[in-house]
Chains A and B, each alone.
Chain A
Amino acid sequence: MEQVGLFPVLAVSAALFLLGVIGVLTRRNILIVLMSVELMLNAVNLSFVAFARHHGTLDGHVFAVFVMAVAAAEAGVGLALVILLYRNRHKVDLDDLNLLKG
C-alpha cells in the first residue's frame, strides 16, 4: 500500500491550525470560538502523529493522547463558563463581554 509522505500531512495540519487561528480571531459567537480552539489542538495532534511516524518513536503518539485528555478537560471548563455567561446575560456573543475594558 502506498504511504502518504510527511509533508502532505503537515500541510493539512498547518491549514487546520490556520483555520482555527482565524476562527478564534474573527468569529464573534463564543461557541464557534471554542470549536476553533479545538480545531487548533487537533491540528497539533495531527502534526505530532505525523512526526512520530516520521521518527519512528512513540513520544509523539503519547503527546497526542495527552493533548486529547487536556482538551477534554478544557472543553468541560469552557462549556461550564459559557453556561454561566448565558445564565447571566442570555446571550453568547464575544461583543457582549464589555464590562472590563482592556
Chain B
Amino acid sequence: MSPLTPPPVLVPEGLSQDLAAFAPAFVIFGAALIILLWEAVVRPADKRVFMGFSLTAILVALGLNVGVAVEDRLGFSGMVSFDAYSVFFNSVFLISAALSTLLSHDYLERVGVRIGEYYSLVLFGLFGMMLLGMGADLMLLFVGIEVMSIAFYCLSAIKRTDARGIESGFKYFIMGAFASGILLYGVSFVYGATGTTSLQGIRAAIEGGVHGGMLGLGVAFIIAGFLFKIAAVPFHMWAPDVYEGAPASVTGYMATGVKAASFAAFGRVLFVAFLGLKDDWAAPLMVIAAVTMLLGNLVALVQDDLKRMLAYSSIAHAGYMLMALVAVDAESVGLNGQVSGLLFYLLAYTFMNLGAFAVLTLMAGDRDDLTSIKGLAGLSTRNPAVAAGLALCLFSLAGIPPTMGFVGKFYLFAAAVRADYVGLAVIAALSGAIGVYYYLRPIVVMFMQEGGEPLSIRPTAASVGALAIASAAILYFGLFPSQLIELCQAGVLSLVG
C-alpha cells in the first residue's frame, strides 16, 4: 500500500436514514444561509422576495416533515431522536414560523425596518427550535436552546433606532444567558452523578439506583433553567418587558415558537430522563403551575395595552401547560392520556396567539407600536372582518366553545382531574374565569364603543391571510378535534416507547 492511500472513510451505520429524517431541519438551515448571502451580495430593494423564499422553504420543510414517514429511532449516534413526538413539534414550530413570516413584511415596512437578515434570523431560530424538538441528548438540547435564543436576542433588537426594542433585546439577553448558565450547571451535576448526558442513559442510571444530593441539585437547576425559558413564576419577570418592547411580529413568534420549543424539550427531559424522580419534582412544579396561572391572569386584568395584556396572558397559559406536565402517572398509560393535552394546547395556542398578533401588527403606527386597547374602539364598523378574526382568537384564548382553545383547556383540566389533582384543576378553572373578563374587554371595545381617536388600521393581504388561516384552524380543530388528538397521543406514546 503506498503511503499516499487515504484511510478508508468510516460511514456510521444508518447515516443515510439519519440524513433523510433530518432533511426538514437541513432545508431550514440552508435557506437561512442562502438569505444571509443573498442580502449581503445582491441586497434587493424589495424585501418581499425574502418573505416568499422563507415561506417556500418552510412549506417544503413542513411537507418533508409530515410527508416522509420515519420509523422511531435514535439517529446520529444517539444524539437525535426521530419519533412522532418530534414530528408533531416540528410541525408546530414550522406553522408558527410560517404565520409569523406571513405577517412580518408589511409590518416591518410600516415601522421602517428594511433588513433582509430578519428572515434569516427567523429561520435560524426555527432551526434551533427543531433541534430542541428532536434532541435526545442534553448536549444537543443545550446547543438548540442557544441557537434559538441567540437568534431571538437579535430579533428583539432588530429595530436599531428604537430604544425600547434594544432594551427588550438586552434584557432578554441577560436573562437568557443567566438561565443558560444555571441550566448548564445542572447538566454538569447530572453528568457528574450519572456519567452520561444522553437522556436514555440518564434514565437507565436512575433506574439502576443512582440517587443523592448531586443528582437532585442537577435536576433542580435544569428545571429552573427551563422554567426561565417558558416564563413561569418566579422566573417570569423578563417576559412582559421583552414581549412589550420587541417588534409585534417577533413577539408573536417568540410567545408561540419559543414557548412550544422549550416545552418540547422540557417534556422530553422530564419524561425520558427524570420520570423515575417524578415524586420529587411533581409537587414543586404543581405549586409553580398554580401560582403562574393565577399571577398571569390577575396582572393581565389591569393592563390597558393589548400587547402587554397578551404578554401576561402568555404567562398564564404557561401555567396551564405546566399543569399537563405535572398531572402524569409514572406508568406510561397515564403519560399518554395526560401529556397529549400539552401538545394539543401548544398547537392551539400557536394559532390563537399568532392570530391576535396579526391584528397587533396591523395596529402599529408609522413609528412605534400603538397597541392600546382603547384604540380598538369602533373597529367592528371600520373593519368587520379583522374585528371578527380578533374576536375569535380572543374567544379561543379565553376558552369559550366552539373554539380550539376550549377543547385544549377542557382536555388539560380533565387530565388534571383524572390524575387526582382536583385542587389544581379548580385553581385553573378559577383563574380561567378571571381570564374571560380581560379577553372580553377588547371585544366589548371593538363592537360596542365608538372611538374618540381610533388607530389607523390598514389591513394588508398577507397579515389578513395569516389571521384567516389562524381563525380557520381555530374553528376547524375546535369542531373536529379527534384526528389531531390521535396525533398528539401518538406523539406522547412514541416518547415512552
Q: Which residues of A contact B (CB under 8 A)?
A: 17, 20-21, 24, 30, 33, 37, 40-41, 43-44, 47-48, 50-51, 54-55, 57, 59-60, 62-63, 66-67, 70, 73-74, 77-78, 81-82, 84-85, 88-89, 97, 99-102
Q: Return the chain B residue nearest A76 by Cβ.
A: B150
- Known contacts being A44-B181, A55-B195, is A99 close to B163, with CB within 8 Å? yes
B157 and A81 contacting across the interface, CB-CB below 8 Å: yes
Select which of A57, A73, A97, A101 is within 8 A of B150 by beta carbon: A73
Q: Are B170 and A100 interface neighbours, CB within 8 A? A: no
Contact of A77 (CB < 8 Å), options: B150, B167, B185: B150
Per-residue interface assignment for chain B, residues 156 to 197, with 1 indicating a CB less than 8 Å from any chain A CB and 0 otherwise = 010011011011111101100110111011011101100111
Interface of A is mostly: helix
Residues of A close to B157: CB separation below 8 A: 81, 84
Task: Please give me the residue from chain B that is nearest to A70 by CB atom.
Answer: B146
A78 touches B160 (CB 8 A): no
Contact A62 B139 (CB under 8 A): yes
Q: Across the interface, do B237 and A66 meet the contact criterion of CB distance under 8 Å?
A: no
B154 is an interface residue with CB less than 8 A from chain A: yes
Residues of A within 8 A of B174 (CB): 24, 33, 37
Contact at B178–A24, with CB atoms within 8 Å? yes
Q: Given the complex, which residues of A lie within 8 Å of B170, measured CB to CB?
A: 30, 81-82, 85, 97
Bound: A33/B196 CA distance, A: 32
Specify which chain A residues have a CB less than 8 angstroms from the CB of B39 in the assembled complex: none
CB 8 Å contact bits of B195-218 with A (1 = contact, 0 = none): 111000000000000000000000
- Is B375 in contact with chain A by the CB < 8 A criterion? no
Question: With a CB–CB cut-off of 8 A, which chain A residues contact B241?
Answer: 100-102
Are the C-beta atoms of B191 and A78 separated by less than 8 Å?
A: no
Main secondary structure of the interface of B (DSSP, over half): helix
- Measured in the bound complex, the distance between the Cα atoms of B166 and A33 in whole Å is 17
List the interface of chain B (C-beta within 8 A of A).
Answer: 139, 142-143, 146, 150, 153-154, 157, 160-161, 163-164, 166-171, 173-174, 177-178, 180-182, 184-185, 187-189, 191-192, 195-197, 237-238, 240-241, 244-245
B188 and A51 form a contact (CB under 8 A): yes
Q: Are B184 and A41 in contact (CB under 8 A)?
A: yes
Cβ contacts under 8 Å, B163 to chain A? 88-89, 99
B192 touches A77 (CB 8 A): no
Q: Which 10 A-B pairs have the closest CB atoms?
A: A40-B181, A100-B241, A51-B192, A47-B188, A44-B184, A55-B195, A70-B146, A37-B177, A81-B170, A48-B188
Q: A51-B191, A97-B167, A100-B245 are in contact. Are A77 and B154 (CB under 8 A)?
A: yes
Report whether A81 and B153 are in contact in the complex, using a CB–CB cutoff of 8 Å: yes
B150 in contact with A74 (CB, 8 Å): yes
Write the nearest CB–CB distance from B151 to chain A, whole angstroms: 9
- Best-buried of B173, B184, B189, B238 by chain A (most CB within 10 Å): B184
A74 to B244, CA, bound (A): 23
25 A-B contact pairs sorted by A residue (CB < 8 Å): A24-B174, A40-B181, A40-B182, A41-B184, A48-B188, A50-B192, A59-B196, A60-B191, A63-B187, A66-B143, A67-B142, A70-B146, A70-B180, A73-B146, A77-B154, A77-B173, A78-B177, A84-B166, A85-B166, A88-B161, A88-B163, A99-B167, A100-B167, A102-B237, A102-B241
